[in-house]
Structures are given as structure tokens and as C-alpha cells.
Chain A
Amino acid sequence: MAGIGFELRRVCLEEAGTYARVRAYATAGLVAAGPWLVTLASLWFVRLMAGQLGFADVDRFFALVSVVFAASLVTTGGLQMAGTRWLADQLYVGEHGVLVPAFSRLFGVVAAVQAVTAAGLGAWCGVEFAVLAPLVVLYVAVSLAWLAFVWLSLVRQHDRILWTFLGGGAVFAGTLLLVGPGADLVRLLWIYALSNALVVAAMVVLIVRGTEAATAEHEPRLRGLLQRPSLWWIGTGYALSLWIDKVVFWFGDGVRHGGVPSHPLYDTCFYLAYLTVVPAMAVNLVHLETGFYERYRGFYAAIEQRATLADIRERAAGLRASLERSAGALLRVQGAFTFFAFWFAPELAAAFGLPEFAGHTLRLAVIGAFCHVLLLLTVLVLLYFDRRLAASRTVGVFLVLNALLACASLYAGPSTYGLGYGLAALAALMWGVLELRTTLARLDYVTFVRR
């Protein structure tokens, strides 16, 4: 008789063949540190030179650039996260041929969608047509930069990304000096937009050249991008939670520069605060991306190479120890920097021409940023272990608390500015750490069963 007993085993194994293909998430958000610094430096250069070179409408320029960054990050956040995972999976199964075709396909989609979004955004801010054109170019260029970023991070070209941004920054500064004197908003925007477009072009060249070897024509199955909806939520939710308190302040207590909302004090405090967590990014690159990542790979490789449970558990313990070491190093290095920044926050605020109470806001922002960067790393590690649900919850906690507490601190008055953000980041960090501890405590079970 045709018993189905053994047939079943075959079918099951075939269907389960996509065994825990848990892959490294590129740390696109983290290696952003370099480009982020370059971007901030470029913008400061504008402020620094504003008086000497006689720029007009600088406040509106900054307000517009902030809006562009915020909106482009939120609108591409989901794609960045889902794209990272999709591409990592493709590379894992050796589909290097999809790199370029998939990128060019998405390049077109992102450019088209973001051009429309930018036009809508401009219309909503009520900008004049002359401003709208460079605004759209800038918005599209920045969005494409996020996309290119994901691609280059995955082929681990961090150094090239940094050089590209440095080059872009240099071109921007040079152009400003050359044709900048007396520039109005439109010319400033054009210069900034075009230098960003140049950076994107350079990254495109890197992507295409770097993968020339794969000549075979590949039809990328981009449908796979939609396979894990939770990643779209995590990416979008994360970007949104990063900006939500700023948006609350823009509209609750801000000013409008020709229709463009901003809150110069709050914004400046936070640009400064985020600068203080750059050391954490560096430590992350050194520890997470090397020691931890190797152990992480070793853990999964051992499973696939048919290790015994004892071996797998030993490796899990090594992985936990490595994470604890990384966390320790992170806390020491970043803790020292944050403490330093906290101590000198009033002086720093004064140096940037902010009112006296802003020193207090900056202190809270520095503490908040400290928690925030740890939170980001926690979410990334959760994603390394494919704990998408846990990551979603953590991001959700941050988003909701950050929005609510921003409103509360706005209501309570200037002395609590930044407190809401700090508390939200702290609470979300604690949540995330609990999720991570649960995951790590039974890593073997989680890896095999809760795929």
C-alpha cells in the first residue's frame, strides 16, 4: 500500500527548506554616522558663512532642509528596512546578479514617487515655483541617497560611502565659496540639491561598477520586498519616532519661515545632541560589526553544518558574552562622551547663541540621545535574530511615548523641553533590552522554533 508516512517527511523538508535564513541586517542606520557628520558640517558651514557671504533667508533654508530630511526618511524608512533584508537574503543565496537590476528598478520607482511627494510637500508649505524646483531635486536626491546607502552598506563599502559624502561636502563648500556670495534661498537650495545629486551619482557609479562581474541577466523578484510587512512598519515607525517630537514642536510652539515650519531652538539642540552619540556608532562598527558579527555567523553556520546541541548552546553563550562585552564598551565610551557633553551643555548652548534655558533642554536631549542610540542598537540586534515582532513592539513603544510625552512637555513649558523625548527613549530602551534578554535567554529555542 502507498503509505504516506515517509513521503510526508520528504514533502515537509522541502517546504521547510527555507530554514532560518536569518541574515545580517546591514547597519545602514549606523554607518550613517560618517555621512551624517559631513551633512551637519556642510550645513554649519552655511550658517558660519551666512554673515560673511551675505546669504539671504538662511532660516528658511534650514527649515526646508530639516523638513526634507524628516519627510524623506519617514517615506523611505520602510523601503530601507525591507530592502536591506531582501537584498541580504538574495546575496546569501548567491544572487549577486540582482544587485544592479533591482537597484535600477527601485531607483526609478523611488525617484518618481518622491518627486510627486516633494511637489505635494512644497505646495503644502506654500513655496513659490522658483523654490519648488530645487526642493524637488533635493528631496529626490536625498531619498535616492538613502536607497543607494542600503545597497552599498550590504556590499560593505562603508569607506567608499564616507569618501563619497566627504567629496560631496567638499564640492558643496567649494561651490558656496565660488558662487555663493549674496545667494538667495533659491540659489542656496540649488547648490545644495545639486551637490547631493552628485553624491547620488557617485554612489550609483559605485554600485554599478562594484558589481560588474555579475553579467548574467537577472530578473529581480521584487515582490519579495512585501513578504515581511513588519519590516516596512519597523522602518517607517522608527523614522517616524525619530522625528515625531520635532514635528510636535514645529507645529505646537514653532515658527514658520515662509510657510515652512520649524523650531530653531529645539532643532538645534537635537542636532547637537545627536552629534554627541557619534562615538557609539564608532564602537558599534568596531564591536558589533566585527566580534559579534563573526560569532553570530559562527552560531548559524554551526547549526547548518549539523552541530550538536551542546556545541550550539556553547556558541550561543559565546554570542551572549560577546554582546555583553560590546554593551560594556559602548556604555563606557559613550557614557564618558555623554557625561562630558552633559557637563558642558550650557556652555555649548551659549556658544550656538541659544537662550539660557536651552542649556537645560540640551542636557535632556544629550541624555535622550544616549538612550536613543542604545535603543537603535537594541532594535538592530533584535533584527539580527529575526525578532521582528519584538522590534516592532519596541519601535511602537518609542513612537507612541515620544509623541505623547512631546505634547506633555510642550504643555508643561520650556523647562521640560526635551524631557519627553528623554523619557520616551529611556522607556523604549528598557522595553527593547527586556525583549532582547528574553530572546538571548533561549536563543536556541527562539532560533529553531520561532523563525
Chain B
Amino acid sequence: MNPNEDRADVVLVLEGTYPFVLGGVSAWVHRIVGQLPDLRFGVVHIAPRAGYYGEAPAYELPANVVFVEELGLNSADGRAHPRRQRRARHLLVAMWRELMRLRDGEAAALPELTLRARRLRDAGISALDVLESEACWDALTACYQKEAADQSFLDFFWTWRVAYQPVLALLFAEVPRAGMYHTVSTGYAGLLAAVASAQHERSVILTEHGIYTKERRIEIYSANWIHDADDGALVIDSSAPYFRQFWNRHFETLSRCCYREAQRIFTLYGQNRESQIDDGADPDRCEIVPNGVDVAAYDVAAIAAAAARREQHPFTVAFVGRVCPIKDVRTFLAAMRLVAREVPELVVRVLGPMAEDVEYAEQCRTFAVELGLGDNVRFEGPVDVRVELAGVDVVVLTSISEAQPLVVLEAGALGIPVVATDVGSCRELLEGRTPADQALGVGGLVTPIASPGAVARAVLELHADAELRDRMGQSLQARVRRFYDESSMVATYRGIYEHCLQTVAVD
């Protein structure tokens, strides 16, 4: 194949996700690719090393995926060439000067770095050479003396090496030529997409579901910073604060690279957009494209559900989601006890897998019995929500953290009002984001997190007023049909892709 020819229309640059790892983002990618069969997609997937996530993809690849390439960041590629390093000393010094400027927040342009990497490669220098050069050592020791002179140098050295090895591997990587690049995270994938865009002078766009730097920050804080002392005792690493800071800054730098190069930046809801802007994204390029549900698939079910609800006597509240701490099922149960005091015939259905945190799930069962809800609550496990939600009067969400919860959209598609905590995009979903959206009315009630009393009051309010319930259900349904239809989400991305590809064609 001619190397100057595009091997795909869109190359998706991904890390730790589609098509090797199951999850929300992967499912999203799979749907988009599957619903745009006339576009040729390529996938470049970054893993710690080739084969890290197994050999076989976890998804059956649609026919329009023309290639999947894996890029192992740690694959020991090539060897060091000390003599070439000496010859290319000036190039190496300049490379590290740029990398340090980048680290200091002076956004050296990525095209500049990519160009330098190419020049080094032409001089026979590998990514490993850059990492083992004296120029790297000088940059490293200068940085150590400036920031970390009282820290363990061994730890600093390895942290540095582990941080920069992938960055250099990506700067030196060759990404297949394509009409455009689309990455669904910043981080390493974001960097590689930006590098590819600079290499081939094509557009790159970014979609972030969760905010990469935030997710890494959580990982960094929960990482095991405790190590064995020489005498076998466990000690908490006193150097942890510095190294946490180091990693946070590192990932922020990577994100900034991607934000800078991406022509358009998408996320699911307003709060995330604010985070991106805080991390350095240009507000003018940040747009919101929410996830959607397949509204058409709910039409028939919705009618049946409404009919069932009218015939049904006992007031039914459903919790939909994995039974795990982040969903705060205990708060939900405590609230239901308060409701059951007023509404003794209350039916409470917990719909969702119990296997993720078995211990927590068991605690929840016991807790329900202790609360005297034994007769009211049914733990039903994973079910087909579209079918089972029919006959439910109110859906409750008590999560302490969410992005854009699918359950609210599903309830909306069926015309069921929702009581949800004020996390992620819940308020936007229930009250509307734009004026046109808000004009559709309120689709449910928002409560603070970890507040059983507030949840109970909201549910009782809906119980007391059947008309309010219907009105809110209809508002939410209207909102989901208009703004959260999956087909419109796919259409939006088709438009984005076509626009970017057209720009290429014009060139």
C-alpha cells in the first residue's frame, strides 16, 4: 500500500479500552463505529506492553474497522547507541530543553517536538537513546536539584524514567496515515493522537467521558505509597507527597498537549467541560455531546409501562445500578425505610448486579432486614431494565459519583420521574441545560448526596401527587427524546467526522 495513502478515514487512538477491555467507553466506541458503517475506522490501541490485555479483542469488530494496531509502550525496542548520542548531542539537549519547557507549562508546540523527534530518528537516535543520553541526565538532575533535592534520588530517577519513557516512545511512534484522528481520552492516547495529527497534518478531535487527569489523581492518591522498611516493618513513604505531585503534574502536562492540538473537544456534560477548561482547554473549542439511549426501542415498551402503572396498586420505587459503595445503596435503603413509614405497602426493587462487591452487597441485604424492610425490598440482580422498569413509579439514584448516568435516560425514555443526587450531569438531565432544554420542564427531583431524609421527602412528594409524577415523567421523556437520542448523538459525530474529513479533502 502506498504509505502516502490514508489507511482509514478515522483512526481512533485509544488506551486501555476498546476493543480489548469491556466498559462504558468501549461500548460507546463500539456503538459509534457500528452505526457509521460507511466510514473506515482504524484503531491504534496503547497498552503498557503488547499483549498486555490479551490477544483477542473483547468486542466483535464491525466490518468497517479496517485495522487494529497495538502499541506497547514498554516493549524494549532497540538499543542505545552511545556514539550516535555523542554526535547528536546538540539535538538531544534541544529536545530536553523543549520537554522541560513543556513540563513548566510553557506549552512548546507539539509539532515542534514531533519534528525534533523525527530529526533525532534521522540521526539514528532511538527513544531509548533520548532517555539514556547525557542531556536527559542533565535535565533530570537539574530538575531534581530544583524540586526534590531532599528526596531519594533512586526513587526520583525511576519515577522520571517511568514517566518519560512512554512519552518518548509516543513521540517516536509512527501512526498510520488517516483522514483524521479521534481520541477518547487525553493522557498517552491523547498525546499520540496529537503526535499523529502533527506528523500527517490532519485534524485531531478529543472526546472525554471522564476527565483523565481527575481519574489519574484518584489513582495516584489511592496508590500504594507504603513500602517495606529494611527491618521488615511497613512504613508510609514520607516522599509520597512529592511524587504524587510529580505524577499529577505529569498527567496534566500530557492533557495540556492534547487540549492544545485538538481542533474540537467534546465531553458529556457541563461540569466536565469546566474541568477541561480548568486544565487548560480553550473554552471556544469545548463542546458538549451527551450520550444517548436508543429512544425508538423504548416506544412500545413505554406504552406498555404506562398501562401497567395505571393498573398497579402498590407504589413502586426502583434502584437501578451495580450494588457497590459508589452507588451508596445504604442511603437508598435508609430513605426507603422513611418512606415505608408513611406508605406501608411500598415496593422497593433493587435492579442490578450484586457481584462487583459481594461483601457490600451482603451488608445491604442485612441492612434492609435490620431496617424492617424485609417484606418491602426485593434484590433482583441484573435484569433487562427496559422490561422491568415498566410498572415502576419512581426511579431513585443515590450515587456519590457519576458522569452521565444511563439509568436517568432509560427512566426518561419510559416516562418515569427520577429522584437523583446532585452529581455528574444529573441536575442537567433533570432540569435542563440550555434554555430550550429547561423550557421542557423538570423531570424529577435533585437531592444532596448521603441524605436519606431528603431522598425520602422527594419520593413522598411524588407519591402524594400522581399528577406531578406524570408531569415530571413526561418532561423527562420529552427531554430524552429531544436531546438524548442515541441516533442524534451518532448523527452529531457523523457531522463532526464529515466536517473534519472535508477540511482534509479541501487541502
Report which A residues bind B (CB closer than 8 A).
Answer: 1-9, 11-13, 15-16, 19, 303-310, 312, 442, 444-445, 448-450
Contact = CB atoms under 8 A, between A and B. Distances in A.
Contacts of B220: 6
A13 B149 CA distance: 22
A306 B153 CA distance: 6
A2 B153 contact: no
B247 A450 contact: no
Given A1-B23, A11-B74, A450-B132, A309 B153 contact: yes
Nearest to B20: A2
Given A4-B15, A5-B188, A9-B162, A307 B152 contact: yes
A51 B451 CA distance: 111
Nearest to B216: A5
Given A8-B73, A304-B154, A2 B149 contact: no
A8 B74 contact: yes
Interface string B146-165: 00011111111111011101
Nearest to B152: A306
7 contacts: A1-B23, A1-B209, A5-B216, A6-B219, A7-B16, A442-B134, A449-B136
Given A5-B187, A5-B216, A13-B162, A312 B153 contact: yes
Contact of A445 (B137, B159, B239): B137
B144 A309 contact: yes
Contact of A1 (B16, B144, B163): B16
A309 B16 contact: no
Given A308-B149, A312-B153, A4 B48 contact: yes
A2 B17 contact: yes
A308 B46 contact: no
A12 B162 contact: yes
B25 interface: yes
Contacts of B216: 3, 5-6
A6 B223 contact: yes
A3 B187 contact: yes
A3 B185 contact: yes
B212 interface: yes
Contacts of B24: 1
Contacts of A15: 74
Interface string B430-444: 000000000000000
A309 to B, nearest CB: 4
A265 B263 CA distance: 84
B384 interface: no
A337 B25 CA distance: 79
A303 B74 contact: no
A68 to B, nearest CB: 40
Interface in B233-252: 239, 247, 251
B158 A13 contact: yes
A118 B152 CA distance: 55
Given A308-B152, A309-B141, A312-B153, A4 B219 contact: no
Given A449-B137, A450-B132, A7 B48 contact: yes
B256 to A, nearest CB: 15
Contact of A306 (B154, B188, B223): B154
A312 B157 CA distance: 13
Given A1-B185, A5-B251, A309 B149 contact: yes
Contact of B151 (A2, A16, A308): A308
B47 interface: yes
A8 B166 contact: yes
B100 interface: no
B61 to A, nearest CB: 19
Given A1-B23, A13-B158, 13 more contacts: A3-B185, A4-B16, A8-B162, A9-B159, A303-B153, A303-B154, A306-B153, A308-B153, A309-B149, A309-B153, A448-B157, A449-B132, A449-B137
B155 A445 contact: no
A226 to B, nearest CB: 18
Contacts of A11: 48-49, 52, 74
B145 interface: yes
A441 to B, nearest CB: 11
B215 interface: yes
Interface string B56-79: 000000000000000001100000
Interface string B6-38: 000000000111000101110000000000000
A1 B166 contact: no
Interface residues of B, number: 55
A2 B17 CA distance: 7
Nearest to B15: A4
A5 B255 CA distance: 12
Contacts of A310: 149
A2 B154 contact: no
B215 A308 contact: no
Contacts of B152: 306-308
Contact of B134 (A5, A13, A445): A445
B17 A6 contact: no
Nearest to B21: A2
Interface in B124-139: 132, 134, 136-137
Contacts of B381: none
A224 B244 CA distance: 37
Which of B149, B156, B157 has the most A CB atoms < 10 Å from its CB? B157
Nearest to B24: A1
B210 A1 contact: yes
Nearest to A305: B230
Given A2-B21, A449-B132, A307 B185 contact: no
B219 A2 contact: no
Nearest to A446: B137
Contacts of B132: 449-450
Contacts of A307: 152-154
B15 A3 contact: yes
Contacts of B25: 1
Contacts of B188: 4-5
A3 B209 CA distance: 12
Contacts of A303: 153-154
A307 B155 CA distance: 9
Given A1-B209, A445-B134, A309 B48 contact: no
Contacts of B155: 306
A1 B21 CA distance: 10
Contacts of A450: 80, 82, 132
Given A8-B48, A309-B145, A3 B212 contact: yes
A311 to B, nearest CB: 8
A449 B131 CA distance: 9
B52 to A, nearest CB: 8
A256 B17 CA distance: 76
Contacts of A1: 16-17, 23-25, 184-185, 209-210, 212, 215
Contacts of A6: 216, 219-220, 223, 247
B438 to A, nearest CB: 30
Contacts of B23: 1-2
Nearest to B22: A2
A444 B163 CA distance: 20
A312 B251 CA distance: 29
A9 B162 CA distance: 6
Nearest to B223: A6
The 3 closest A-B pairs by CB, nearest first: A306-B152, A4-B16, A2-B16
A407 B314 CA distance: 109
A308 B157 CA distance: 11
Contacts of B134: 442, 445
Interface in B242-300: 247, 251
B161 A5 contact: no
Contact of B219 (A3, A305, A449): A3
Nearest to A450: B132
A3 B247 CA distance: 14
B484 to A, nearest CB: 21
A3 B134 CA distance: 31
Nearest to B215: A3
B280 to A, nearest CB: 18
A12 B215 contact: no
